[in-house]
């Protein structure tokens, strides 16, 4: 995985987790993901991106991610959105705000139908 792919992965997780306020389990999940990917700098970059302005972080991330992910194969886009869905499910629930955020991203990336199919399983 390239440094850019690690940034995308960690920013995606972080921005969804921060959408309603980062809790302990989510913070721990982000740190584990960064350790697994050997990507502490990429995680710091993602957190700094969000902390620059919490109120606009999601919209800025959407723009940033759309520019990069638009070139990814459809399967990879589905895998990324599914990864975030699965990460959110680890805590036992997904909030309406998180689900809405993921749906917006899936729509941006033209994988809305595939995302809905995954959710319904």
The count of other CB atoms within 10 Å of the CB of residue 113 is 11
The pLDDT score that the predictor gives to residue 1 is 82
Report which of residues 8 and 92 the model is more confident about.
8
Six-digit token pair at 60?
């800025």
pLDDT, tens digit, 9 for 90 and up, residues 10-43: 999 999 888 777 888 889 999 999 999 999 999 9
Q: Which residues of 3-34 are buried (b: 16+ CB within 10 A; e: fewer)?
A: eebbbbbbbbbbbbbbbeeeeeebeebbeebb
Alpha helices in 19-95 (DSSP H): 24-36, 40-51, 57-69, 74-89
Among residues 68, 36, 32, which one has the least CA distance to residue 49? 68
pLDDT, tens digit, 9 for 90 and up, residues 91-109: 788 888 888 999 999 999 9
The pLDDT score that the predictor gives to residue 19 is 79
Distance CA 36, CA 1 (A): 11
pLDDT band with cut points at 50, 70 and 90 for residue 84: confident
Q: Where are the domains of the chain?
A: 3-120
Distance CA 1, CA 37 (A): 8
Average per-residue pLDDT for the chain: 91
Distance CA 40, CA 89 (A): 24
The pLDDT score that the predictor gives to residue 116 is 94
The pLDDT score that the predictor gives to residue 95 is 84
Mean pLDDT computed over 1-16: 91
The CA angle 87-71-43, to the nearest 5 degrees, is 40
Mean pLDDT computed over 1-17: 91
């Amino acid at each position: 995985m390239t440094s850019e792919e690690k940034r995308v992965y960690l920013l995606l997780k972080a921005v969804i987790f921060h959408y309603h306020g980062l809790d302990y389990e989510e913070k721990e999940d982000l740190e584990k993901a960064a350790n697994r990917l050997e990507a502490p700098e990429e995680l710091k970059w993602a957190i700094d991106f969000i902390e620059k302005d919490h109120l606009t972080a999601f919209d800025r991330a959407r723009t940033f991610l759309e520019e990069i992910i638009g070139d990814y194969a459809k399967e990879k886009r589905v895998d990324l959105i599914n990864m975030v869905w699965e990460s959110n499910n680890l805590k036992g629930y997904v909030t309406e705000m998180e689900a809405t955020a993921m749906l917006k991203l899936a729509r941006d990336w033209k994988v809305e139908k595939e995302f809905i199919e995954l959710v319904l399983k």
